[in-house]
Structure 1
Amino acid sequence: MKSAKNKFTLAELADSVVSENRLTPEERKLADIELAEARRKNKERTTEDQQMHAKVLQLRFLKEDSV
């Protein structure tokens, strides 16, 4: 459904944002390994204060969701 504000339908907007995964199984496995390595390096760089802050925020959001 097009509106006065949007010249695109919801389906057209979704198609423009969501991309197809055209990786072979081998490429997918390599991409998964690279992503895991990047996440590990990022986690190593976080300080103890940043980790504590992230845990506090997580608890806060969990509490808000349960209410």
Structure 2
Amino acid sequence: MRTGDRPPQRGLWSKHAWKTVREAMWSTTATCRLAFIICTFCVVPAAALLLSAWAFRVVLF
């Protein structure tokens, strides 16, 4: 068991509360990962399109 897996002091938090915090942290991590993937699929192609349009404009005009 790693140090971060257990509560800071015995008796401060109940087992259920610690489990809830871990699940919330996992949920946040999963949400951030999903947001990053969605941004990658939306932002990267948009940036590539803008860069292509700019390069096309520079070459032709």
Q: What's the TM-score once normalised by structure 1's chain length? A: 0.38
Higher-Rg member (1/2):
2
- The higher relative CO (CA closer than 8 Å, separation ≥ 6) is in 2
